[in-house]
Structure 1
């Protein structure tokens, strides 16, 4: 096994399967001629080595990025007027591993993902590849901004070139700065020396994000995206550019006994200068006052003009640090989404309610746990979800988490109007919550309002650029409800790429493909579902599809039967 830093070019023939189906002999002849007369000579002339051949593509190693780019441009220019063949090409520089006759590693993975995003006849390169070029060579590339790539944990900044100068359809444009003052809060570093205390630093970060997210006059990047930077060394200006924000808050937390030290620094993403910095040494019981002061100082540093909607209610928190600690631990366990972790979260939230029965947050957390248990098959848990969510609302009607649990409980029990009202209240309380917009979008899918979904998901995606799979899934389902099955299939495929472990995208994809008459692809989607859930049946998935209009559900289930699912 050998490891080395290499420039990797990934190339693929566009629509190869379709070309082979239409004219196998002609396609193979054209491919051989292109490879012999253009591709392989270009590789050799630029000190490249083809390290892997697929039927319709190649992986090529180069000594330098400039060689790889020059080769790619020569190939694409040579194919510009070809009657049949087009290539997509991606280039990245990174560590690669050579073992026997195979090659793998980040250099390969990212190059392959960039190739998949490129337009026919186009070239995409990563930011690290572009940084290896001299100024003149780099100047011909256009900035595509950060892109979420399949199975790559963090977004990759991407640059494009094409013979015709067009934009690839799979790539989104760079994130423009919002008109409002904008901020991302990066995960605060745990300075206690004990990794077991990560939950506390994470919890402090999340609560600061939530408080800032409640201000209508600010634009605040979502927790899920901010936390992709956890544990990473980072250039703050690069982070600001990647996320499309003006300011970045970073800090640290050190907890020792009943004392806590919190440091924070607000950095201007354009200049790299400090807009504000402070250190707090307090008793643990004062942690909420620290969070409030951080929020207040950020608002003042950003010169935010608060409007009436920004008048935050007085915090209805707890005077018991032990109860707050249980809530933070419970959140950490809940997000693991295993049965054991859910049981741990339940125990921690219940302990918090025992310590402080008037503390709303653990009741809302318990409602989330119960809702998840209902999805896992506990029929009685839905009633408990309502009880706990309403209990939390009675203690603190301004707690956003209450309306997440309540809205979903309403939705999945067929009370669509009440679900939509709950999600709207959530947005009113937390106007920067990406999840509030996404949940409302999901409710509109099932309520039969597909036209309302896309703008909501666009808002959610801007707040949460490293978004989860159900954002494109909701868009795909909305297109399905609207009878636009091509668009449905496109978005559902994106959802499947983002989360290959979820059965929901391949189920819905199979239905869309069946209605398009693409039977073999539909069967493949059915097989992908069974690979995740071997005993998947239509009857078992219906409760996860709370359509208000019977025709929408009947059309989906009928299409799934046509694809090959059984009752």
Structure 2
């Protein structure tokens, strides 16, 4: 308003102050603590009084030319010092004011919880928000709406600041940063920035130091979020320099892998704190992926609905199509949907990713996974090889191969991987690359199958791995099924019964026909036919 007409804006502000704002605060039982030119800080004895006053202010500020003001309200401990007020209550109220829509009000959950019903109905749930310089998320309720914080999806920017070198004899730090930048750029959803001019645009920044003493090198790094300075990850790496090129490559790949994983986890956490209607396509995709990590079939439809909205918002968003394919793959795994038509449908969004961006590894990851489960083993391996060419750090490449080796036909397995060694090595590589993945239960499952195929005489290593898989977050009924089969092979029928009961608890519709629909075309079926026949005689509902 000041830019448009300085004098008119001042007059409107004075009019609002004298006729609406200060009278409403006073009549509502509040006290003006500080006047801030175009803002006010007021204190009330109760949140109910503050909200009633705020609603009255916004109701009256509807006349022509009235300024559209934001109001934030929080309840908390404050200290009055020298005619000023301090405390976290003031800080949070200030952040909420900035969050509110012009003409609107944003209040914290602690305020909302203490309001009578007739005031609560004026506010809508705006979800939990991360507020600047506030450590914990604050659940927000809004009057007048809260604008989306999303916008269109752009690659997430990471600023790589020059490492501080503590040794005059070492010049490795720039080379390590170059290697990190090269590897990070292979994650197409990340954008690397290297100069201070880019600092304002970056969401995250990596800092570090390098020290060298003789042939020993110590690299210390920390990754932080720019909006609140929160440190997401820090670690120290000690290495002996044998070949500088190899060491630079090793640290570059390892740091890129950890940085991408930490940012992915943090982005998912932030997306979870806001209502879906406020998220952009990339954030909806991250939220959907997090939902799918629960392993619960009920979550898959919710994730699918989010992704349908993501595609509607941004029809060329590759993250949305990747997760759309992933939903189909997870549905097929669950047994709650017919396996083969569901897998066929899951191929389409993966192919769309490759069409939109042929250099996006995630599209090929899903092709490898879906083709693998369909028993199209060579096509799966070809897609996994493409992932490796685009991003050697992506755990989707070895994981796709693990799926392909498991669901390969008996003829292919007899020719290419009769003792399960290839499955074993790809599953181990997946776990190495995906150390912070929320889908670790599935990665452990394929390792357990590899151990079963590799050593049919000593089943204990496979049992230990499958038990870890069954106990991990988001576990499906698959590890429980194969634990039951192993115990039948070992003659421990009561234990097998317990594992079948666990599978039935996870998936009440679990049945022999579901098992057959998923596994009967794979190498596993003839190897475990005897135990599967015994399994059919167990009471699956127990």
Q: Provide TM-score, normalisation by structure 2.
A: 0.46
Higher RCO (CA 8 Å, separation ≥ 6 residues): 1
Q: Higher Cα Rg: structure 1 or 2?
A: 2
Q: Provide TM-score, normalisation by structure 1.
A: 0.44
